[in-house]
C-alpha cells in the first residue's frame, strides 16, 4: 500500500509539473464552463473533443468566432485535461510564438526550437488573427505550424473566418496552403455568437437596476 501511495504521489506531481510547464494563462477547466451559454457549434462538438481522441489521431482543432464566446476557455480546458492524462502540452499566443521564432531565426537556433515544437503532443496557439505579419513572419509561422500537420495535434483559436486569413498573412498563396494543411481532417468549431462577457455585463446591469 505504501508503494502504491508513493506511486500515486509521483504521478500527481508529474501531472502538476506538466500543467506548470505548459504555460497556461490561468487554470480554466472544462467543468467550469457554463455550457448552456456556449455557441451552438461548441455545444455540439465539445462532448466529442473532451474525449481527447483527436490527440492520438494527430487531428487539429480550430475554434473560430467573435471574441468573448469561450474559445480560449475551451482550448485551455482541453489542454489541462490532456496534461492530466499524461500528454505533453504547450500553450502560447501566436504573437509570443512569432516573437520566439524571429529571435531564434536571428540567433541561428531555429532548428532547436523546431525540434522542441515537434515533441509536444498538443500545442495551443491562441489569438490567431489579432496581429498581422510581414512576409518573413508569415513564412516562419507557416513553416513552423506545417511541421506538426499529420503528426501532432494543434488547437488554434481565431476571431477571423478562413476567408479573412489573407488579411494577416498578406499572401494569398501562402494563406491557401496553410488553411488547406491545418484544416485537413480537423475539427472545425464555429464559435460565433454573443459575447459571454457581454452577457455577464448585461446581467450585472439588469441586477443593479432591479436593486
Among 177, 184, 187, which Cα is nearest to 63's? 187
pLDDT of residue 28: 95
Q: What is the mean pLDDT of the chain?
A: 90
Give the pLDDT confidence score for residue 7 in this predicted structure: 78
Least confident of 35-39, 120-124, 128-132, 181-185: 128-132
pLDDT at 50 over 90: yes
Question: Do the bridges between strand 122-128 and strand 89-93 make them parallel or antiparallel, or are there none, so unpaired?
Answer: parallel
Helix 94-106 and helix 110-119, axial crossing angle in degrees, nearest 10: 140
Cell of 18: 506538466
Q: How far is CA 69 from the centre of its chain?
A: 14
30 pLDDT band, cuts 50/70/90, is very high
| 155 DSSP β-pair partners | 61, 124
Give the residues across from 75 on adjacent strands.
Answer: none
Enter the C-alpha cell of residue 110. Answer: 531555429
CA dihedral of 140, 174, 69, 78, whole degrees rounded to 10: -60
What H or E segment, with its residue span, contains residue 63? strand 61-64
pLDDT at 198 over 80: no
Per-residue model confidence (pLDDT) at position 132: 79
Q: What is the pLDDT of residue 210?
A: 62
Reduce the DSSP state of residue 136 to 3 states and report it. Answer: helix
Residue 211: predicted pLDDT: 62
pLDDT (mean) for 37-56? 95
Distance (Å, rounded) from C-alpha 20 to C-alpha 208? 39
Which H or E run includes 112?
A: helix 110-119
Is residue 155 within 8 A of residue 79, CB to CB? The reply is: yes
Q: What is the pTM of this model?
A: 0.88
Closest CA to 95 of 128, 144, 72, 71: 128
Of the pLDDT bands very low, low, confident and very high (cuts 50, 70, 90), residue 209 is low
What pLDDT shows up at residue 200? 66
Give kind and range of the element (H or E) at residue 125: strand 122-128
In the predicted structure, residue 41 carries a pLDDT above the cut 70 = yes
Q: What is the pLDDT of residue 81?
A: 97
Of the chain, the end-to-end C-alpha distance in Å amounts to 57
Amino acid at each position: 500500500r505504501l508503494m502504491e501511495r508513493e506511486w500515486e504521489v509521483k504521478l500527481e506531481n508529474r501531472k502538476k509539473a506538466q500543467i506548470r510547464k505548459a504555460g497556461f494563462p490561468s487554470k480554466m477547466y472544462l467543468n467550469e464552463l457554463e455550457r448552456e451559454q456556449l455557441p451552438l457549434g461548441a455545444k455540439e462538438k465539445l462532448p466529442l473533443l473532451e474525449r481527447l481522441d483527436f490527440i492520438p489521431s494527430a487531428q487539429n482543432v480550430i475554434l473560430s468566432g467573435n471574441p468573448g464566446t469561450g474559445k480560449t476557455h475551451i482550448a485551455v480546458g482541453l489542454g489541462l485535461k490532456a496534461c492530466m492524462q499524461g500528454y505533453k502540452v504547450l500553450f502560447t499566443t501566436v504573437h509570443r510564438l512569432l516573437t520566439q521564432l524571429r529571435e531564434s531565426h536571428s540567433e541561428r537556433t531555429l532548428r532547436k526550437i523546431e525540434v522542441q515544437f515537434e515533441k509536444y503532443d498538443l500545442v495551443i496557439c491562441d489569438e490567431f488573427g489579432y496581429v498581422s505579419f510581414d512576409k518573413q513572419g508569415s513564412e516562419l509561422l507557416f513553416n513552423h505550424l506545417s511541421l506538426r500537420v499529420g503528426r501532432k495535434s494543434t488547437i488554434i483559436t481565431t476571431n477571423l473566418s478562413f476567408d479573412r486569413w489573407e488579411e494577416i498573412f498578406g499572401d494569398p498563396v501562402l494563406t491557401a496552403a496553410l488553411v488547406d494543411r491545418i484544416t485537413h481532417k480537423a475539427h472545425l468549431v464555429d464559435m460565433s455568437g454573443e459575447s459571454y462577457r457581454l452577457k455577464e455585463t448585461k446581467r450585472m446591469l439588469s441586477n443593479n437596476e432591479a436593486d
